[in-house]
Amino acid sequence: MRIKLMILLLAAVSFNGCSTLVLKPSDFSWPVESVLKPDKNGMVEEDRHSISFNTRGLYYEEFKDSSAATGSELRIICDKMGYYFLTSKNFKNVYVFEKNDGSLVLEKKILISENGIKKPAFNQRSNYIQLVDDGKTYNLTHEGIEGDEK
């Protein structure tokens, strides 16, 4: 009986040591978008939020031309769940990324306009990221557009 109790206690301690610490609620959102200019190598850096990454793959995905990053302005904002929303003037899409092992991994590509976004601006809202473009607004989540455009 004692041996069974010791094994049970040892198992309980072992499983307890394998549990993951979760700190919640957590809010990763940025109150306002950041507008970043890629350097000649395609890198952007946002000191306020301690993030930097190479944009060439993003511009290649959008335009099939990685040099399109030069002279552009990339708009980025992070929602409450930690997803990064990125777009730029003339992009057709908003790209949603998540962090993973020292990289940003594409979660979703959200088509906004086949003609390209004219004047993009992101706003943080309680349950979504709002994209404003040329008088139209889109409520975005990491899964896509919420509701209809306005």
Q: Where are the alpha helices (DSSP H) in the chain?
A: 2-17, 56-63
| Coil vs helix vs strand at 137 | strand
The structure's pTM equals 0.81
- Number of structural domains (the chain) is 1
Rounded to 5°, the CA angle 106-21-24 comes to 70
Q: Is residue 139 part of a domain?
A: yes
Q: Is residue 6 part of a domain?
A: no
| Coil vs helix vs strand at 28 | coil
Q: What is the pLDDT of residues 63-117, one digit of tens each?
A: 999 888 888 999 999 999 999 999 999 999 999 999 998 899 999 999 999 999 9
In which domain, by residue range, is 132 found? 27-146
Q: Is residue 78 part of a domain?
A: yes
Query: Which helix (H) or strand (E) segment is 63 a member of?
Result: helix 56-63
Q: By the 8 A CB rule, do 68 and 62 touch?
A: yes
Q: Is residue 1 part of a domain?
A: no
Q: Is residue 81 part of a domain?
A: yes
Q: What is the pLDDT of residues 112-139, one digit of tens each?
A: 999 999 999 999 998 999 999 999 999 9
Q: By the 8 A CB rule, do 124 and 83 touch?
A: no
Q: By the 8 A CB rule, do 43 and 53 touch?
A: yes
Q: Is residue 141 part of a domain?
A: yes
Q: Is residue 5 part of a domain?
A: no
Q: Is residue 17 part of a domain?
A: no
